[in-house]
Structure formats: structure tokens, C-alpha cells
Amino acid sequence: MANVVPASTRHEPKFTANQVKQLFVLCLCRVSEPLALTSIYPYMYFMIKSFGVPKQDIPYWSGLMVSSFSVAQMLLAVFWGRISDIWGRKFCIIISLTGVFIAMIVFGFANSLAMAMAARMLAGVVSGNVGTMRTMIAEIVPQSQLQVRANGFLPAVYYVSSIFGPIIGGYLSDPLKNHPEWFNGKYPAFLEKMLKKYPFSLPNIFLAIIFLAGITNGILFLDETKESLKNRPDPGRAVGRRIENYLFGPLQRLLSSDRFYMRFCSYLHGLYLDLKSKLFNSRETTVNTAEETAPLLPAVTADVETARPAAAATDTKNPSADLETARPAAAATDTKTPSVWSIFTFQSSLTLFYSCMLGLHTLTSDQLLSVFLSTPIDDGKDWAPPFKFHGGFGWDASDIGQLYSVNGFISMFFILVLNPILMKNFGNLNCLKMSTLLYPVVYIATPFALLLPYNLQGFAIFMIMIFKSFASAFTFSLIQSYVVASLENKELLGTINGVNVTLAGGGRAIGPTVGGIIFGACQKAGYIVIFWVFVAIIAMINYIPVMYLWELTDKPKEEHARASTTAVGYQTTGMNGAKGDVAVLVVASGSGSSTPISRVNHGDLIQFADGDAVKTTCRV
């Protein structure tokens, strides 16, 4: 009888080389969109002002401009999710990047508010990348223990982009005004004429080049991850493989040779084992990692659970039935198209609601904080602190860009260094609760920075943004892991990510629009603090679904109930269990009875399941 190694001795799974490569390519495709999004924050106030909008109406139109993107994205996010399920993930990503590239050029050369709004809506219509990329991450890295780390890559890319996006937007916007020294006869007259007519075109032209690089990278090096479309001909990827072989082929062959790699690695491994045995008095144990590496996506081959319907129809006295008898039932099950409504379980509904509210209050605060910083300083004659005050900080686009960039550096540190440590020691759910409660505190503190002396205001705003970035570093990566883990049928992974983007886009659409109206009304009334209290209340409401979420490593209660009814075991039929056939059995808990499903041969891999969850795997 084969032995099962205890869970306490199992190794933690690691990313494979191909997973790392594909995640890297995916991140390069992702980097251009947040660059374009964050680059407009430093100059959005001044761009709307250049269209002749009155100063008191700028917060409203600023919120509407951000919301126009989110509304269009919300309306078509599920459509893009379904397109990715039908035509493939890579197709969806390339089309989206191309569409956003065109919309960004139009936005940079907009000479009216209507044209700028139309460009933002066009960008939202074709922006189907976020949900598709989340789906690809779940398919590239199906191991459950690696999901949280993998889902943290996209937020990390966002924060890396948020470092450089505001710098690009703040530094390159309106160069004739901000950098007159650039135009002392050094450049052609038509360029100066163009920048005078379109003062905010330069950052968008620069970002368009980055978009073209991202599109090219996706065409050449990104693999299709949808199982049914992996073998579809891909001319772009074929060219990419030739480039890889030309650039890295000789180095790869050198490293994979026996002389330069295998012997060297074996020697280091031997030294490691000797050192470990001397220091810790322990032996290297061969362990089984099936539980830690259990795929979140279903395997191609039929497993024991899908074989049970066939087992019920099999003669219980004949354990020699071949394993193939179970496969037609499994194949018939796989051909059924799952209902879209099956994604809405109790846990998935909680995570989707949280994602919607998270998008609502974070984007509202981000967008209107830049307006708050850009608003001119008020003389304070009608102030009555601590509650009646208004105005802004009077910062220019360059100052705002620098602030966002420094904050992006620190946010990247939170995601890459601090997050894994805290999640490992305190658990995913506790970190999610802590970060969710941190948002209201940050929002309440924001307006009171205006009451500080001028030389302390910048430091106060910086610290407020640091604490918010600390909270965002947890919430955005963790909630995506909860969305994926809450889905029972992984065939609908693209659909639930589309629904997630739709609901989050709905929150982002409503928040800045309503927030811009409230922000402008509070400025006119002299009570700007009311707006930030409003945002804090929304953030506090978002703690309600967190109270009912399970830890990612826990099983829901209904799964525990289902697991108590059945279990899977095996017994050997050969002499002394040596090289004998093995009968896989379905055992009813508490009854002691068993039903053989089929025989498998010596050396085959057996999966032991508890309910629907694969507990471990062993080889006979």
C-alpha cells in the first residue's frame, strides 16, 4: 500500500520559469494603461480650465470626465469577459490596448470639453483588459497557494506606473508655460505652434509610444491561456519564439548542458543537503505537494469526483471495471454550458459588492484629491475652524506629479516587501479587515491638513497618501483572490472577472460624478469637511461584507457538510501490495460500505478527495 506523507512535511510550491515569463509579459502589457490613467491627474484641473469652464464648476466636470471612462467600462466589461471566453484572452488584450491607444491620442489633441469626454468614453468602451488579465493570471498560475502572490502583480504594476505616470503628466503638460527654456529656437516653429494649440498633447504622444511597445510585446510574446484555444495557430507568437531562440537560444543551450549546469546544480544541492543534515540533524524527505499545488482550474483528465455517476451504474462486485468507463460521464458533464447565474454564490456576492464599493470610494478620493490640491488657496476670511473652511492648497501640476510619484515608490515597497510578511503572520482576512478600516481614518484626516501651517501641509498630505497606499496594497490584491476563490465553476472565470470589472466600474462611474457635485457644493458652502466625511462613511459601509468572508484557506460551511457524506480510499489487490492493481473505492461515511469505481495499474497516480476538494495524491 502506498504511503501518504503528512501535510506538516510538505514543501511550499514555487513559480515555474514559464509562469514567471508569462506573468512578466502580462505585466508589460498592463503597464501602459495605468500610466495613461495616472498621468492626467496633475493636469486635469488645468486642462478643464483651458476649455473655458468656470472655476467653481471644475470639480463637477472633473468628476464627470473620470466617470465617463468608468461608465463605458462598466457597460461593456461583461461583454469583453464573454469575448475572452469565446475568442481568447490574447485577442481581447490586443484589441483593448489598440483601442485605448487611439483614444489617448484623441484625448491629447482635444480642443473642447466634449471632445475630451468623448475620448475618455472611447477609452472606457475598449478597456476590457483588467478582467481578462485577472483571468489569465488564474490560468497561468492555477496553484491555490500561489494565487494571492500572483494576483498582487497587477496592483504592483499599477503602483509602479503611478510612480512615472504623474511625472510624465506633470512634467510634459503645457511645456510652453512650464518649460519656456525648451523653445529658444531649438525646435521647428510648427512644433511650438502645435503645443500652443494643444498644450496637453505632449504627455499623450510620449505615452502612445509606450502603448505601441506594449501592443508589440503582447503580439510576440504573450501565450493564449484558455485551454480550448491553446493549440490555435498564432503567427505573432511564432515570430516571437524565433526572436527568443535567436537572442537567448545559445545561452539557454549552454545553461541546460550537462557540463555547465546539471553537474553544477547537483554539486550545490549535495552541499545543501550535507549542511542541512549537520545543522538541523534532519534528512531530506520526499514529500507530496498536491494539496498546496491543487489547481484552482479543473484538470483536463477525469477525476474521481466526476467519475462517481459512472461508478454508481457499475457492478459493485466487479472492481476490475476499466477507468475508461468513467470518462464518458465526465466528458458529458464538461460539454454542458454552465449558467452565468451560477457565479452568484453568497461568498462571490460579498466579494463583488466589496469590489464595487472599493472602486467607488478610492477613485472618488484619488480624483478629487488632485482637484483639492490644485484649488487655489482661500483667504480664510469666512473660516470658522474646526469645521467651516474651504479652498485648496494651490499646488501646480509639477508638484502634484512629484507627490504621486514618491507615493508610488512607497506603495511598491508595501506590495513587494511588507505585504507578504504581514499576510503570512496575520492571515489574509485579518489584513483585509485592517486595511478596510484604515480608509475611513485617512479620509477624515484629509481636509484638516488645510488647517496646518503652510510648511507642514505638504508633509501631512504625504503621510495621508502613504497610509492610503498601505491600505490599497492589501485590498486590491486580496479581493481579487477572494473573487477567484469564491467561484465554484472555474469555466466561468472570465465571466466573473467581467462582472467584477462591471461592478467596480459602476462604483467608479457613480463615485466621481456624485462626489464632484458634493465637493463643489461643499466648497461653495464653506464646509469642505462634509465631502470627506461622506467618502469615509462609504468606506465604513464596505467593512460589512468583510465581516462575513471566510479566510482563503478555510472551507465554507456547506462544503464541510458535503464532505462529511463521502470520502475516497483505495486498497491493493496484489500480493503484499507489491506491483498489484489498485481498486479506487467510494466509501460512505459511517456506513463502512464501499463501492469500487475502477482498477488502476501500479505506478498510476491516485487522487484522494474529501467531498469536492482534492486532499492529496500518491503514486502506487
166 vs 332: which has the higher pLDDT: 166
Distances (CA, A) of 159 to 155, 326, 480, 501, 618: 6, 49, 16, 19, 42
Of the given ranges (50-59, 329-338, 345-354), which has the lowest mean pLDDT? 329-338
Does 31 share its domain with 63? Answer: yes
Q: What is the pLDDT of residue 15?
A: 79
For 80-93, write each residue's pLDDT tens digit.
888 888 888 999 99
**pLDDT band at residue 60, thresholds of 50, 70 and 90?**
confident
Residue 72 located in a structural domain:
yes
Res 116 pLDDT > 60: yes
294 vs 400: which has the higher pLDDT: 400
Instruction: Mark which of 546, 579, 607 sits at the end of a domain.
Output: 546
**Strand partners of residue 606:** 618
- Measured CA to CA, the distance from residue 508 to residue 131 in angstroms comes to 15
Residue 606 located in a structural domain:
yes
* Average pLDDT, rounded, for the chain: 74
Q: What is the pLDDT of residue 147?
A: 72
Does 314 share its domain with 377? Answer: no
- Measured CA to CA, the distance from residue 450 to residue 165 in angstroms comes to 26
- Measured CA to CA, the distance from residue 133 to residue 234 in angstroms comes to 19
For 295-304, write each residue's pLDDT tens digit.
444 444 334 3
Res 612 pLDDT > 90: no
Residue 529 located in a structural domain:
yes
**Residue 584: in which H helix or E strand, if any?**
strand 582-588
**Strand partners of residue 600:** 582
Q: Which residues of 435-473 are buried (b: 16+ CB within 10 A; e: fewer)?
A: bbebbbebbbbbbbbbeeeeeebbebbeebbeebbbbbb
Which CATH number covers residue 435? Answer: 1.20.1250.20
- Which residue segment(s) compose the domain that 89 sits in? 14-227+341-546
The per-residue DSSP string of 74-86 comes to HHHHHHHHHHHHH
Res 536 pLDDT > 60: yes
| Backbone phi, psi, residue 378, to 5° | -85, 150
**pLDDT band at residue 586, thresholds of 50, 70 and 90?**
very low
Q: At what angle do helices 428-445 and 346-374 cross, to 10 degrees?
A: 30
Widest pairwise Cα distance in the chain: 97
Residue 315 located in a structural domain:
yes
Q: How many helices (H) and strands (E) does the chain have?
A: 25, 5
Does 351 share its domain with 463? Answer: yes
Res 356 pLDDT > 60: yes
Does 317 share its domain with 206? Answer: no
**Residue 460: in which H helix or E strand, if any?**
helix 454-486
* Grid-cell match 471632445, residue found: 115
Of the given ranges (138-142, 156-160, 390-394), which has the lowest mean pLDDT? 156-160
Q: What is the pLDDT of residue 337?
A: 56
Does 47 share its domain with 96? Answer: yes
Instruction: Mark which of 494, 512, 546 sits at the end of a domain.
Output: 546
Does 92 share its domain with 192? Answer: yes
Does 527 share its domain with 613? Answer: no
- Measured CA to CA, the distance from residue 327 to residue 302 in angstroms comes to 6
Contact partners, residue 229, CB within 8 Å, separation at least 6: 88
Q: What is the pLDDT of residue 597?
A: 43
Q: Which residues of 189-213 are buried (b: 16+ CB within 10 A; e: fewer)?
A: eeebeebeebbbbbbbebbbebbee
Res 514 pLDDT > 60: yes
**Residue 459: in which H helix or E strand, if any?**
helix 454-486
**pLDDT band at residue 290, thresholds of 50, 70 and 90?**
very low
**pLDDT band at residue 287, thresholds of 50, 70 and 90?**
very low
Residue 345 located in a structural domain:
yes
For 440-456, write each residue's pLDDT tens digit.
999 999 999 999 998 89
Residue 566 located in a structural domain:
yes
Instruction: Mark which of 488, 520, 546 sits at the end of a domain.
Output: 546
Residue 396 located in a structural domain:
yes
Does 412 share its domain with 518? Answer: yes
Q: What is the 3-state secondary structure (H, E, C) of 204-248?
A: HHHHHHHHHHHHHHHHHHCCCCCHHHCCCCCHHHHHHHHHHHHHH
- Other CB atoms within a 10 A radius of the CB of residue 74 amount to 23
* Number of folded domains that form the chain: 2
* Grid-cell match 484641473, residue found: 45
The three cell numbers of residue 465 are 497618501
Q: What is the pLDDT of residue 335?
A: 47
In this structure, is the dihedral angle defined by the CA atoms of residues 501, 504, 510 and 516, taken in order, positive or negative?
negative
- Other CB atoms within a 10 A radius of the CB of residue 182 amount to 13
Judge whether 491 and 78 are in contact, CB under 8 Å: no
Does 539 share its domain with 578? Answer: no
**pLDDT band at residue 291, thresholds of 50, 70 and 90?**
very low
Does 44 share its domain with 164? Answer: yes
Contact partners, residue 586, CB within 8 Å, separation at least 6: 304, 308, 311, 566, 568, 594, 595, 596, 597
Contact partners, residue 241, CB within 8 Å, separation at least 6: none
- β pairing state of 613-619 and 566-572: unpaired
Amino acid at 354: Y
Of the given ranges (122-131, 310-319, 537-546), which has the lowest mean pLDDT? 310-319
Top-confidence range, 106-120, 162-176, 417-431, 578-592: 106-120
**Strand partners of residue 369:** none
**pLDDT band at residue 201, thresholds of 50, 70 and 90?**
very high
In the Cβ-directed half-sphere of 406, how many Cα atoms lie within 13 Å? 13
Does 152 share its domain with 80? Answer: yes
572 vs 508: which has the higher pLDDT: 508
Does 331 share its domain with 480? Answer: no
Which is nearest to 450 in space by CA: 515, 388, 403?
388
Q: What is the pLDDT of residue 264?
A: 55
Which is nearest to 366 in space by CA: 407, 338, 396, 307?
407
- Average pLDDT for 224-234: 87
Res 489 pLDDT > 80: no
- Average pLDDT for 12-35: 84
